[in-house]
Structure 1
């Protein structure tokens, strides 16, 4: 069954009635997951690999969102601040820089810390107090979180923790099912549409050819987003291509087909399913972050912005420096796999053409921590390096780079204006 027919304008074709009958006779799970890879026996065997692929991302999201890591982080910072100031004022006011005997008895460490204290005075004491406060605060934060359940016994405490974990996994499953079942409606709400007749005539043969080269028995429906940004996205049951991508490459068939092959690998491997499950497990955390970010960004008062940041900073830090990096690490590996899939399908030149055109990543603002840790796409130059054919030289400028599109001139203007 050609899935693209369901998304095209050929609803009145002679095939539409048999297709409708086939869909009506199919099991409910099959009807709700139309567009998934057909090489899986059923919806469960399709969802399972994607859900279980990024275990480190799932574990991180579970700990951060459901085991209250932001609360422990807040306690650690609060006690670090208090411990640092108390140690500083005590040392500054009394002049006593001696350490407890238990610390001095630690081999090498005791003498080194005592020497630092003697030379730096209150500053060294503040640093030591801050470190001790952070450690103690984090441990106490974890302890306070689980103190209630364990007060009634170890069995009740373990049951409460396991129940919380099951709840987090259940939230991830529900969110994944929601994203999969209602994917078409979500995409339409966010701006995707079915291809026009001539868009379908250009795009669908390219997708079908890429699927054939990849030995895929089917391919998902393709939707169009009128955004001018050159990009394409693989979802669990659809591929969305921006109008800007088609225009950026002047409708070059080989190059655009390479993009479709890349996205088909994501779709076939269940990468969007994996990302949805991690997002679902971490959904409470993302929800709080979104609310805090909205409050912080909406107010114009510096005082109110500071208050919003003070209240929500543990969530901001946990998401940006723990949850997102773990998810992004798996996403970068998926990008390399998709690139290699396009090469195996015979689109090496087309894939290199895409990457050489965009010397930066498909993401914006890649710098510092975001570029190194949080970016979901690897640097394009490293992706190009992995696409090099053995035994061939690839000097700069890259000969695979396509020509830039000609600028559109308004009536009465010239290139020299």
Structure 2
């Protein structure tokens, strides 16, 4: 985390440096303020879009009293405010968290409730609560913001060092996207690491890693029918389960392999 975080900070500093060299010292405060606003907008829009895309509704306390009771106990143990609990039909068993500590939302799918035993569901919810407690969503938004900023800086470099014609415009778009993708590789490495941390925290607060390990096995089996999934690509990055196959898919995946997560939980 320290190494990757330092690399991302270096990328951000480089982008601000480019702004300084091209437009002078007066642009630096504007560039920093703009980057903060960019991250803030991404955070707000991303949270709303994720909830809207799955049609999340409030998780009824009268209909699911045992789930709420266990969540209350977990929140007390973790010393966090209880997030808004919502349920959605996603087509597959899954769950995700959005928002920050003190203003978080956890969404679980109806398929997850139907698939898991109560202790397994508790393990999944503990994992999502850990993401909120550790401010992982905010961390990822900052990382994505840095990737966007560096991509924009690369576009400006191409435009202002070329002839500024239509060919340079398309070249700038290509270079910007490639640079942004390169930076996102480091951001996704952070995402995979934070999944391990959330698993470890869930294991700690539930007292055992076995229920979450079983839950991941069932979720993995349920997600084999991905054609039924109503979860889009952006929301899938937030979910408890999501992995790539093959080397390239794995390095651009937001989640580590489920088998490795299960192994760690059972160690």
TM-score after normalising by structure 2: 0.69
Quick one: which of 36, 40, 53 aligns to 1:173? 36
Give the Cα–Cα distance (whole angstroms) in 1 for the partners of residues 197 and 107 of structure 2: 19
1:60 aligns with 2:6: no
Please tell me whether the aligned partners of residues 65 and 283 of structure 1 are also in contact (alpha carbons under 8 angstroms). Answer: no
Q: Which residues of structure 2 form unaligned runs of 5+?
A: 153-168, 225-239
Partners of 1:199 and 1:379 in 2: how far apart? 34
Distance in 2, Cα, partners of 1:319 & 1:309: 15
How well do the aligned residues superpose, as a CA RMSD in angstroms?
A: 3.5
Aligned to 1:131: none
Q: Indicate which of 147, 153, 174 corresponds to 1:282.
A: 147
Quote how far apart the aligned CAs of 1:246 are: 1.9
1:204 to 55, 60, 68: 68
Match of 1:313 among 174, 178, 182: 174
Q: Distance in 2 between matches of 1:223 and 1:286?
A: 35
Change (3 A) 1:278 1:341: same
State the Cα distance separating 1:340 from its structure 2 match. Answer: 0.7
Q: Conserved in 2, the CA contact under 8 Å of 1:169 and 1:281?
A: no
- TM-score scaled by length of structure 1: 0.46
Quote how far apart the aligned CAs of 1:55 are: 4.5
Partner of 1:219, secondary structure, is coil
Query: Paired residue for 2:59?
Result: 195
SS at match of 1:233: strand
Deviation (angstroms), 1:264: 0.9
Q: In the alignment, does 2:241 pair up with 1:362?
A: yes
- Supply the distance in 2 between the matched residues of 1:232 and 1:168 (Cα, whole angstroms): 36
Match of 2:252 in 1: 374
Higher relative contact order (CA 8 A, sep 6+): 2
1:226 counterpart residue number:
89
Please identify the structure whose Cα radius of gyration is greater: 1
1:332-383 deviation per Cα after TM superposition (whole angstroms, max 9, x unaligned): 1111111111111114111111233327992254323221x22221112222
1:288-310 superposed Cα distances (whole Å, 9 cap, x missing partner): xxxxxxxxxxxxxxxxxxxx997
The Cα offsets for residues 68-94 of structure 1, whole Å up to 9 and x where unpaired, read as: 9xxxxxxxxxxxxxxxxxxxxxxxxxx
Instruction: Tell me which protein shows more strand as a share of its residues.
Output: 2
